[in-house]
Amino acid sequence: MKRYKKIVHLVPLEAGRFKFAYIFCLILIFGLFGRLVNLQVFSSSDLQKKARLIQLTKISTLNRRRSIVDRNNRLIAYDKPLYKLWAHPKYFNFPGDATTRLRSIDEVVNKLLPILNVKDEILLSKFANKMTGIELMDEITENQARKIKNLHISGLDLVKYSQRYYPQRNLYSNLIGFVNYENKGSAGLELHLDNQIKVVNKSNLVKKGGDGTPLPDNSGPRDFINDYKRLGLTIDSRLQKASFHSLSKQVIKWGAKKGFAIVMNVNNGEILSLVSIPSYDPNKYWEYDSEIFKGWYSQDLFEPGSTFKPINLALALQEKVIKKDGFVEDNGKINVGGWTLSNWDKRGNGYIDYPKVLQVSSNVGMVKIMKNLPPKTYWNWLNKLGISKSLETDLFESTAGQLKSKDIFVSQPIEPAVASFGKGFSISPLKLAQLHAVLANGGSEVIPHVTVNFKDHLRNNSQKEIFSNEVSKIVLEWMESVVNNGSGVGAKIDGYRIGGKTGTSQKAINGRYTKKKACSFVATFPINNPKYVVLVIVDEPSKAYAYGSTVAVPVAKEIIESLIVIEKIPPQIENNKIIVKKP
């Protein structure tokens, strides 16, 4: 079958239709061009703002603080993530509901009750006819928050925040301090080392494309990396706990106002334990008087009394005004510049050697010994020891001690006389511990500190040599005799060589001495290779027969016993013979 092709006759386009198409295309082109000009020129700034709102996602950063751990990485303080629950009743809607359906407050509350474990009337009372912006609860745990999120209820918002928590409670309170409701350091290390503890995030914006793909920006490679650093302390929690319980028991027993105990490594200044009583629970700081928050062991001053006698003997030896095997006559009292000074028991001890001076804590003996040292030289030594200077440490701001001016000290004989047995000047307990550490380590100055990274500071500061090694060794042997045969005998532990010195110092108020006392004991251990100094001070015991030997010595002994176990320190004496280890 033959197929025929259809012939189409071309007809010229009408001039009117062609003109219409031409004009329409022209208008379209000009319209697009005008739209382009409007977007690129007149609306560019508005469009840029809209683009930024879409592209930049704000990352909500928490006001976080670094954890604090002891030398064995036991947690002392850390941030606990919690949530606040907000409600907006005008948006209440359950999964699967029509978008127009509005659920009642009662329905939402019934869903929340099993999770929050509160009474329904407590939650219902929060609403009070409000329809938005209602804070229902705070301190919601992560587990509770997860369960609330799984409900997928519209109109409920969870806001994450960080709360500081102290798992050891009052064990570290006077050292660590606390942060307030705004998460700001308010006492202790939390305040003093705030810049080392708080976490500062450099950036909190992420740039993304429309599909969520991250876009290049100016953020640094570490801007969004979580901070996992910790503030490490030199403290051992086991020793801290043992010291705390021993001191607490004694403060209660003697009805004392307060107490302090410290264990420090004499070779590098590391503090292994530092406790003070009374203490408080930093998780509930608002329940306590603000006076208790002060670190009085570095901020309050006291006259060290007889615990300073070994330091004075070291000065006399260093200046060669006495000899190791010398004697002094103790008549029980002595007149200096019109003042009568006496021993604590008003009794004389006759001719005694220098170890005996420490054993019986002879004030008269010390006055006669230190009279051999010219007052000007004596004052220069006290000044060199830093009596009137504040300690540069990572603890609280240390209060500078008080020392009479050089003119007064030199011109009035009573001043060097009373200074010989630790009176007439004042220092902080922490300063006293430092001076005994210097004596114990062979004469080199060390800085008491509790943070591990403080050693970086120490590397940049050369240590001062104060006493010769020979002088230190002699005085330590004399201190050992105090524990073996003197007022410190209560600190004696079979098999171990311990040196010490007791102190019972009357407290001066408004320039006059009162019946109030500060009972103290300082120990160096072990004497053959000194590594630790232990200082115990019990302030204002209220019962009779309160002395350094009866109040402070028992605490020090218990602390040393704990230290022996924790540090696994072997005995130095067997069958009354000193053990000498071969190098």
Q: Indicate which residues carry an active-site annotation.
A: 306
* Residue type (1 letter), 552: A
Distance (Å) of CA 91 to CA 28, 106, 116: 45, 14, 21
* Cis peptide bond prior to 526, omega within 30° of 0: yes
d(CA 537, CA 551): 9
d(CA 315, CA 334): 22
Question: Read out DSSP for 305-368?
Answer: GGGGHHHHHHHHHHTTSS-TT-EEEE-SEEEETTEEEE-TTS---EEEEHHHHHHTT-HHHHHH
534, containing H or E segment: strand 532-539
**Are 361 and 547 within 8 A, CB to CB?**
no
Q: Which of 523, 541, 543 is nearest to 436 (CA)?
A: 523
Q: Token pair for residue 398?
A: 């240390």
> Where does residue 175 rank: exposed (0-12), middle (13-18), buried (19+ CB within 10 A)?
buried
Q: How many residues does the chain have?
A: 583
**Are 230 and 98 within 8 A, CB to CB?**
no
Q: Token pair for residue 572?
A: 């130095």
67, containing H or E segment: strand 67-69
